[in-house]
Structure 1
């Protein structure tokens, strides 16, 4: 068991969960979910599932100026796509606005909260530093009667935005800055996507979060380490408010990946400044972007499991996510051949209308014997430009002048003649094929060659657009070392290939179909109209020794 599971099991054994284990995933509906949220979802829903409990989906909609129904809908869709279900337990912090207001009144009545007239800047200056105590607000000793009246006036809209706040009365000299009379409510006239204009005061996250957990009967509030210093405040509210439960907060390390940022504010800047095409740009670390890139729910969940749960922050290599996708798609993605930078090859000992059938396996990693398809070797085929060199080094095992190479699932061809244009560029190869050299799933034949290359029949090929994605950032830790994230953007994060040549079957592939382009990587078709494929991830290995560049 990881340490969170052990803590939950201990609580169950001690009888602290009579109603069962209840967790919650509490996203703010002010943006799209990203890969960091995926780990939180995996933890919150996974722990509940493991212990036979449930996970509530609760939207922390306490900042209406930045929230919208669009984000609510996208979050629910992404959670479902990841394979999780909140089983009808969908809640909103706004469901509890009246109850939260009542809790605040209760704290005032106990002498534990007061209305403060300091501005936001003054509040920060009065707070002190980690090494110096703060100063009491001049309004800290207002009477209970005055505070109740002022708080009601705040709710009734009698003060302008920013005129005052409601603060907890704890300790301005506390070692933990979060305990230095934190703000509970602020005035903000903003239209709320659910409550409309019914409220002009809104609770702060620290106040709304724990009390919402308690109202819902949450037993374990699982959150990232950044909230560890907030736990004393979380527990202070639960201790001093009557009539609510006592959920337990447990922190774990958030997910950090190289070449990635997971700040919603910074991701939004990338969108707004046009560095990416939107929240669903395949280069973005959002769930939407990963989906469009070709990632699978299983790969993301498996990556979270591989990263594990710890109590210390670590930076994981992006290979952790990429390898999880390779392992998943290796088992499920059919193999197809595609040529991205075509070079024409004419097989001179084949007639114009001749086509030789070659049997190709769809997925050698599939369980059982798998299935196969028929390819047609025709007089004209396409191969990759880089698979031919006129002046090749000794360890170049692909096609070269007067050399041999095997066509994947096909026959050995010999290069007899090189055709060049006026500028000296190779534009065509004239070759002959050896009829005795194979043509099946395991083409042994009588002729042994070291190199194997992929190819596509020129007669049967379909034209496509292929988008090759790389990391959005060129530095492992973007925006560090005095650099901005804009400075660290990778100018080569996308390469659009027009006129790629694909096997004909790929023209009928539905949107979302994932395939392996042999030697090139794993790809996904983006829509049903145009034949466009995004590369999800490149191949780490190859199926032939010729991959040595030589």
Structure 2
């Protein structure tokens, strides 16, 4: 099967050439996460790549956990990774694989290297190994244990397996070349001792293969044809190929590198995200301010918007910093088509319409979407006391200000024209309410002999429901915090702003009826503010919390909340 080259994916050319050489080639890719944290948007790029390529070429994609370090791994991360992959819309082939399920055969391949005099047990400390390895400018030097006999190395390796050494006292290293210009080829460690119960193998093993040793052999055992990884593993390809070449493994996968995802204003390092969590700067792996898949999902991003984003940025060998606005464009474009339009007031100021009776209630039928009648309509209610946004009124005269001010008119969305006449303040001089006149002859009509006034949103006080609104801004105030060693110095103090306001009571009731069930498919555009979703973790029936997914295309309105 030959597929035409996709300009956004150079890997298609490679696969097409492989298929020309071998028409019977059955493509098999894999997504091989380490279960030491939650997946992020960078992993989503790799997931889409591996699963989509397998689908395109009628092949298969494995899910394999490269679980070689029980100190940093646990079952919680395994469950979260499976959930994220399924949520993104992908299904792995067959059973889940683990590097740990291959531990016995990996141990046999390690002994094979010893028997070929290509591996030895070293008793240098971790610090000494680093010193002996040298630098980019200084060649390494041989360990004093490098020339042990094959039989002695086999005995010592067996003793390592049986727990006769303490952690750090011994390790197994490949015998390659301490003078190599590639530091990774200067006798890399293949096995180390870790006395920690493993989430899969429990207490069966106290020696664990390194990632480099387990990864390539697990690929081979699982018959992976194309092993895709990011560019930081480019040098690791040398040890990848060396191990495959020098063991009797029958299948030989090929590794190809592509650029990792670097996203503006974001940290995608699991180690650095862990620091943010440990220091309580963010509230866990699903905090909507970070670009983990669970964080994005909680913020209201959809699986399809993330897949679209990954498709748009493409797959190249060129490292670059992707604009965050690209990710926002993908979700905004989707939500614009399917979000219910409703009104919410995040920072309320009360308006009393003095010429309307206290018992007056006007029911208005308004569309759920201006361009999609299939989304239906809903009711709103107009009464003599309403809320508007505080930023939609200005006390001091400003000729350029086009919203409500004393002596000037404004139209309420879907409703009447009102005119501000009086301000009420508390003893400290803070505005607590406005007194306005309402022209009841202007419903659906243009004012006579006047220009159409600007339009603002509102909510009836009697038909409102209190809600909390979480406004999210960038967690960092520089474009590339990932490059900064002291990245915590660039935190944005306004990354989360909480507002207490109101939503339409009918919308609130609809949400309350679904609390505890799946409400992930409820998307709202709060008019003139932005796109929001209900927070499914913290919301209660008596305390609704909305997360801002993304601002409107014109974000000038929302900036006042920052």
**With structure 2 as the length reference, what TM-score do the two structures score?**
0.92
Are 2:404 and 1:399 equivalent residues in the alignment?
yes
- Which residue does the alignment assign to 1:348? 354
- Give the alignment partner of residue 537 of structure 1, picking from 550, 556, 559: 550
Aligned 8 A contact 1:465 1:496 in 2: yes
Are 2:477 and 1:478 equivalent residues in the alignment?
no
Aligned counterparts of 1:27 and 1:454: Cα–Cα separation in 2? 47
- Give the alignment partner of residue 456 of structure 2, picking from 447, 453, 459: 453
CA separation of 1:507/1:465 partners in 2, compared to 1, >3 Å: closer, same or farther? Answer: farther
**Count of equivalent residues:** 542
- Which residue does the alignment assign to 2:131? 125
Which blocks of at least 5 consecutive residues in structure 2 are unaligned? Answer: 1-5
SS at 1:89 equivalent: coil
Report the RMSD for the aligned CA atoms in angstroms.
2.2
Are 2:16 and 1:14 equivalent residues in the alignment?
no
Aligned 8 A contact 1:161 1:187 in 2: yes
- Which residue does the alignment assign to 2:492? 490
- Give the alignment partner of residue 68 of structure 2, picking from 62, 65, 69: 62
Q: Answer with 430-439 or 263-272: which moved more.
A: 430-439
Aligned counterparts of 1:479 and 1:54: Cα–Cα separation in 2? 34
Deviation at 1:424, TM superposition (A): 3.0
Aligned 8 A contact 1:270 1:276 in 2: yes
- Which residue does the alignment assign to 2:157? 151
- Give the alignment partner of residue 113 of structure 1, picking from 106, 119, 123: 119
SS at 2:525 equivalent: strand
Deviation at 1:506, TM superposition (A): 2.5
Q: Please give the per-residue CA displacement for 1:223-262, whole angstroms capped at 9, x wherever unaligned.
A: 1000011111111111111133111111111111111111
SS at 2:234 equivalent: helix
- Give the alignment partner of residue 140 of structure 1, picking from 138, 143, 146: 146
Are 2:341 and 1:328 equivalent residues in the alignment?
no
Aligned counterparts of 1:34 and 1:370: Cα–Cα separation in 2? 33
Are 2:273 and 1:267 equivalent residues in the alignment?
yes
Aligned counterparts of 2:487 and 2:559: Cα–Cα separation in 1? 35
Deviation at 1:421, TM superposition (A): 2.8
Aligned counterparts of 2:41 and 2:202: Cα–Cα separation in 1? 31
Which blocks of at least 5 consecutive residues in structure 1 are unaligned? Answer: none
Aligned 8 A contact 1:408 1:454 in 2: yes
Deviation at 1:205, TM superposition (A): 0.3
Aligned counterparts of 2:150 and 2:490: Cα–Cα separation in 1? 53
SS at 1:486 equivalent: helix
Deviation at 1:19, TM superposition (A): 4.9
Deviation at 1:88, TM superposition (A): 2.9
Aligned counterparts of 1:532 and 1:381: Cα–Cα separation in 2? 21
Aligned 8 A contact 2:267 2:481 in 1: yes
Aligned counterparts of 1:399 and 1:360: Cα–Cα separation in 2? 23
Aligned 8 A contact 2:347 2:500 in 1: no
Are 2:531 and 1:522 equivalent residues in the alignment?
yes
Deviation at 1:444, TM superposition (A): 5.4
**With structure 1 as the length reference, what TM-score do the two structures score?**
0.94
Are 2:415 and 1:415 equivalent residues in the alignment?
no
CA separation of 1:26/1:542 partners in 2, compared to 1, >3 Å: closer, same or farther? Answer: closer
